[in-house]
Structure 1
Amino acid sequence: MALLTAGWLLLILLVNTPKDFAAAGPPDRDFQPKCYIPCEDNNCWELHIHCDWGHAFEPQVPVKYSLHWQTVHSDEGNVTTGASLNGVINRVHFFMNSKLRVWVQAESQQGSARSLEVVFNTGHIMKPARPKIVWSQQDPLEISWNSACNEPHLSLGSCDVRYCTEVDKTWIEEKIGANVNYEFYGEVQPAVFYEFQVRCSCATGLMSDWSASHRIKSLEAAPTGEMDVWEDCGVPATNIVCVITWKMLPISQAHGHILGYEWTLSKHGNDEFFNVSTAEPMGWLVCHEMQCYLNLSLKNVTSVNISAYNAQGSTEPSYLALPTTERTPKHAIDVTINTENLTVLWDLRSQRPDINSIKEYVVQYKQAGRHLGQGFDWMRVNKSHGTATFRGHFEKYTPYQVSLFKVTPNGQSQHFSSVIGYSHQGTPSKGPSFKISSIAATRVTLVWEPVPLAMQRGLILYYQIGIQGQMAVYNVTNSPQDTSETFELRDLNPDQEYEVWIKAVTEAGPGPEVMARFKTEQEEQLKSQRLILTLLLPVCFLIILGGILVSLSFCRGAGKVCVCLNERIPDAYNSGIFKLMKEQMDDRLVWIGNDICEPHPTISVLEVVAIKEPACGEYSDSEDLNTKPATKSKQRDGKDYSKRVDSDQEKGASELVNREDSWNSDEEDDVTLGYEKHFMPTTVEMLES
């Protein structure tokens, strides 16, 4: 156990030991001092020798340095500098124009080391002061400076000049010899700041340091090229509120200070001309960073021409046809966003576009929630390419709408596709706004508005819906359109309170819940509806019965009565009304939803066998037409019609069908239908008449 503990302690010691300390060794010998006599304030003869070696060992290892020198007379001297990387040899230790040998000694706990030696003539290490540029002009670009070798009474050795522009920060260096002036012979960019620096050496000395920078702005010229003009319609893109936006001209095109902008708005053949100064924009011109936009209504505007001008001229007018957001069938584009880059990929080869109808593509992005003209950028891409990359800072949890357009040679633009992308997704900060649209006894319909785009914090994949206290959760796919969505909850209990919740879900997880309460309809409401329908049944039955009675014709004669009957009589037992009533008693929903009145009742055929056909209209005053048929009907059947109808559910329709066939029998004891006997005379009665 003791050995294990000791091993662990040794391991911990090795892990925590500084790398530089563990790997430290003797100081490196590969360094060499550089010595010079600085000529400050035109005094070069009475100054000390400055040496520096600009070499440091491992910072965690303490090193002590000492500067050593030796004259031709073998006189040696040294000075300890400690941790400093430079030292000074005092003027009293050497003579001007004499040889001197110099080296540096380094010592540490791991050992010591001696640098390489440097031998020089003390009269040749004078370093003149930096030159000062005292004169310049713009056309042509020219500078001049003073000589730093006059005071030491030395001739000028040589000078170097270097320059760069504010557009290109790369220094370009030229050797010009023993001169104190320089003229620029290259192609001058108009209205651009040029920066110059000079350094010189004397005939027997070192090169001075570079002078301070001197800036010259070249003369202005008329701006060249065209402005990059586009349209910002916000998120989601609409043509109702749009602004014309453009990118400021780069220095290489502006050729001077832009004084203002001129534009022409075309409204169905009528042109309106505007001129706004950058010094007094009057609220029309709004510029932010490297973009500007026109704060002017574009209602009824069909096209725009814009140009920029300075004191020397103006650019060619830039044409933009409106609207640029014409909707066409969607084509997929792929968007990848991180905090530094936004990359767009597309492939329209499957659409087989006419290459001659395409001038270029325009890819744009818009940060949701930003004002028009802000958080917006676009890029023009060659028609042979299928990718574009924007560089910048793209915020997390922030939606960016990316769109692809095709631009035709005549300036018209056509929208291909738009998608929403995020550099990093989170959960929604707000739930959807929803409500109950309709309530029934067993179902309810929910309607909700999408979460505002600025609060989604990610692409919403679907919505989750559930009832408080129940395990069931419903996932409703998010519609890509920015429209309201609906969902119906079914199989609910009547006359019961419920609490329903909904929340939006992104790839990072669900957002907060939004709750709503409702109560389903009562069962009594359904009963009242059924009661109303029940009361309507007798009315329908009476209507049918009245139609039957109307079909009967009564013909009256002098001594006899002949009842002329319709050939077809409605058969109540075949009526679909009674069947429907039985089915509706079992299913209340069917009771409510179906029609209770039979439109076409079944008709029974009445066959009458005439032995002697009386003349219609003959009758006897002594005979009672209403007495005999009714009496015989009761004797033969034993029941009247109304009682037979009430016993329908007990006996069934099949018994009535069998009795209908007995009309053709001559036997007096055959069972006949009560319906017919109640209203019609028998065959014997008809013969007796």
Structure 2
Amino acid sequence: IYLSDKICTIHSSKEVLMGSSFQIYCVFKNECNKIIYRDNVPLPYNSSNLTAVMNIVKLTQATTFTCRCKDRPEPCGMDITPGYPPQAPQNLSCVQEGELGKVNCTWKTGLETHIQTTSHLWLPLKPNIVKVKCNSRDCQLYTDKRQNIHLVDIRYKTDQESWNSASTYWNITSLTPYSLYTFQVRWKLGPSRGLWSEWSEAKEMTDEEAPAVMVDAWYFGDSKNTHLLWKELSKLEASGKILGYNVTVVDERKKISSTFIKHPCRNYSVRCSICTVSIFAKNSKGHSPTRRIQLQPIGSLRYTVSHQILNDSSIALSWQRPNNAPEEYLVEWYPVERKEQLQWIRVERHLHTTNITGLQPAKCYDVAVVYLFSSGTRKVVFSGLSTRQSVPQQGPECDATVKNYSVEVKWEDIPLERRGGCLTNYTIYLRDSGDKIKRYSIGKPSEKKFTISDLSPGQQYKLWVTAWTKAGEGPKGRERNIATPPEMMSVGGVVFLACLFFLCICHFSSVHRRFSRCCHCLMPSIVPDPANSKWAKECASEKVKMLFIFSLYKLILLSELQSSNHTNALAPCAGEMKLQLYLSDSSMSEEEPDTVEVQELPQEKFNSYLKSLSHESGSSDTTQASRGTDMTVDYISSHGVLSGDEDEEEVDDENFFPCPTSPFLSPLMSIGGKLTLDTVKIDCSDFLDFT
């Protein structure tokens, strides 16, 4: 475009595109005779005062327009070349030859402009972050080569956050202490010039601060031991790396004890039922505010607590609000029988609802709302809460102990993860040998023992236990086989019948004889020798001595015979026996012993037999008197021969038993006076060595 300011100025109404129509304006400084040329050809125009206007239609080639006064040679003019503006380059691609080499770029220009077009190539390289310097809540970024950069974009985040844009360049504020941040920076030459560079990245940790939030602690226990628990501070609350916790206990006697517990341990046992506990967390920059808890027995309240299941892991809880609101509410919960897994949340005093989250489905919980009054602590317990229940996946393992005609059944808890929720009751099944089944329901899930007392004697049973939830009955546990003993009388009845039985059978003579054998076992194993007694020596000169000796031997012989194993040896029977008695004497030899004929007679003839034997002894050629008073009577020789046939006639034994006195029998015989034995020498075992 050529402009002259001598006598006039010239301009078009708009940019001239290829084939467009427009107007040419010539503005003169002074009034004159106007002439307008198009490529030196005069053009018609419209004139208004000092301005001449020409209409140009569909210009397609380069044209020169000139304006001049007729009486003045100096013109003003303009060259117009129609065309198109350049389009944005497409498919730009640049390749650098080496790290510091030249860059070759190619692109597509789009529609032909038909006019001279110049392209400018700009390279904005990504920033180089040299250093990041952080305090606890702000960081300063340092880069090199920031000249000619007019626009910078900075963003940052932690691993748990999304990207945040920096409000100011290079200095990022409002950060969180003790947090790892990622910083990214890019730039461009200007708002409308060039493209954004690639992102450059750097990471840095903000510094620590002392914890700003007190530790949330709570407790449970009994009258002797209290277990103190506290929650871990979040990263935001900790403001640094927690090194440990300081616990201070002041008991009723104002005795103070302090303990430092290293992280990550978060529990402590306090051996007091009424005391004050203080706890705070500590990091390298300081410690948190102190939490104080008054440990004391917690009373119970009978307020109403209701709940609504939100989903498998959440429950909405609401409770009754008293007229005098407590300073704070605390809601605690834990899986049944797992109080060490206690969790809790604190609720402000003006609220009476909260949500418990993080619960596990098909698991049973105990819940309580604790009212923290300034005068003391009270709680409302809500047991047996579950978000979703199923039938138990396992039956209880049981043991059974039979006692007479009853059985004591004991069973173990089902593992928590296989209960399917909160147990409501148990059922004991008892099946007898006829496949008849009895059921016994135990309505308290805390009961683990039951006694069944209506069993029949001499029966075989199978026994098992099942558990129930609100969803239904679970599978049976392992079966147990039990058996009851046969029917038995009571001890008193047995004793009575036994006594009655013995009283009855004692009236039979045969029973008397058999019972006498039992009495024989009570006799002393060594029988005293009457021949060596003092009394026998004093009476050696009398004839009655032999009568006494033979009578005593007779009694011993009969007793030994009845205790032998021969047939019919239990009863003394009539008959004759030849018994050789060897009486020791200095005038007698062992080769020719005296033989004494002994005849066994029935009991009724026994007295006459003794009298006969006494008479025969008195008339014998070898009487005791003729031998002198110094003779001694020796034992019956073991070489004596016992012979004779047994008579089958039964003998009445009511007045004679070869055994000591028994409670059921009268004495065997009555002997007056005292029998003093010096030595005991009689051995009756030889009397049994016969065939």
| Structure showing greater Rg | 2
TM-score by length of 2: 0.49
Higher helix proportion, which one?
A: 1
